[in-house]
Structure 1
Amino acid sequence: MRHSPLNAALCVFPEFIFINQKVKMRIAENVSSGLLV
Structure 2
Amino acid sequence: SDGNKPSLNLKATELRLGLPGSESPERDPDNCLRSSS
When normalised by structure 1's length, the TM-score is 0.37
Greater share of helix residues, 1 or 2?
1
When normalised by structure 2's length, the TM-score is 0.37
